[in-house]
Amino acid sequence: MENSTMDNGTAPDELSPRLTGAKIAEIVFCSCIFCIGLPLNCLAVIGLYNLVKANNAQPIYVINLLIADLLQLATLPFTILTFYYFQSIEIIAGLSILIIVYGLSIFVSIGFFVCISLERYVAVVHPLWHQSHRSPRFAIKVSVGVWLFPLLFCIAVTLVLFLLDLRENLPAIGSLLIFVFFFLVPLTLLVFFYVRSKAAITSSIGAPDVKKKRALRVLSAVLVLFIVVYGPFFTLSVINAFLISMGIVTSVGLSLMSVVIRNLSVIVDPILYVFLRNDEHRD
């Protein structure tokens, strides 16, 4: 029988590749992202490490952002492997772990987007407080919290939904909560930081401080990158989850578009390194 399985393993037919045109396109795209993103992020991390000073903690947040991107990149080869052997029990179990690691890396990246923007906002609007809280030690403590928060959040949401017997609606409700807490809330904060910083610079007496103008450029870059990369991804993810919960088969094009958008972050995030390096050279 073609679809039969064996007690002590997986039948040969279950390990045969069943690739469609969309899957092939996804494999090619993921391979390109991996080959470009890996050296790009590694070089950026090395460059940023050399920018860390006793009184400058901002590179630490960008380094953590890029480490989260490297973690996301590390899952891509295994994701490609599942396209060939997606019916193997071992691969399915591994895929679940990959999804968790991949999701956490995205949530952590978002947290460090907020940290980078918050640090620049405080430097502009609350310079005295910023001077006393810009040490690498303080940034490391904040970074540990950013890495832990998504994990604790996902565990808490899953437990609550199970206790309320909402397991059938877990994908839809979970996606909606993630959309609110990891997109709408961060987006609101990023917009607030940018608007308040720009207002503070505009209302200042005399010529605007050059460093404050550079900080505003970083804030605008973070806001634009966040909207471009994560806006379409989270929107498509919520739509996809609700369509599945209603028993509607989602289109392959929608899923492929989501994959393309969500992986672009590992290439565009190193742009922040360029901003920081230019600022250091001007100083």
Residues 6+ apart with CB under 8 A from 67: 45
Contact 270, 40 (CB under 8 A): yes
> Cα separation of 142 and 251, whole Å?
40
Summarize pLDDT for 215-239 with one digit per residue, the tens. Answer: 898 999 999 999 988 888 888 877 7
Summarize pLDDT for 98-121 with one digit per residue, the tens. Answer: 878 888 999 999 999 999 999 999
Q: What are phi and psi of 53, to 5 degrees?
A: -130, 170
Contact 194, 220 (CB under 8 A): yes
Token output for 205: 């007496």
- More confident of the two residues 133 and 1: 133
- More confident of the two residues 90 and 193: 193
Summarize pLDDT for 34-82 with one digit per residue, the tens. Answer: 899 999 999 988 888 887 775 677 889 999 999 999 999 988 887 777 6
CA atoms within 13 A on the CB side of 59: 21
What is the chain's length?
Answer: 283
Summarize pLDDT for 253-276 with one digit per residue, the tens. Answer: 666 676 677 788 888 888 888 777
Q: Which CATH number fits domain 19-277: 3.40.1010.10, 3.20.20.60, 1.20.1070.10, 3.30.420.10?
A: 1.20.1070.10
Summarize pLDDT for 116-143 with one digit per residue, the tens. Answer: 999 999 999 998 888 888 888 899 999 9
Summarize pLDDT for 139-190 with one digit per residue, the tens. Answer: 999 999 999 999 898 888 778 777 777 666 666 777 788 889 999 999 999 9
Domain ranges across the chain:
19-277
Q: What are phi and psi of 9, to 5 degrees?
A: 170, -160
Token output for 56: 């400058």
Check pLDDT > 80 for residue 28.
Answer: yes
Give counts: helices (H), strands (E), the chain. Answer: 11, 0
> Cα separation of 252 and 259, whole Å?
11
Q: What are phi and psi of 158, to 5 degrees?
A: -60, -45
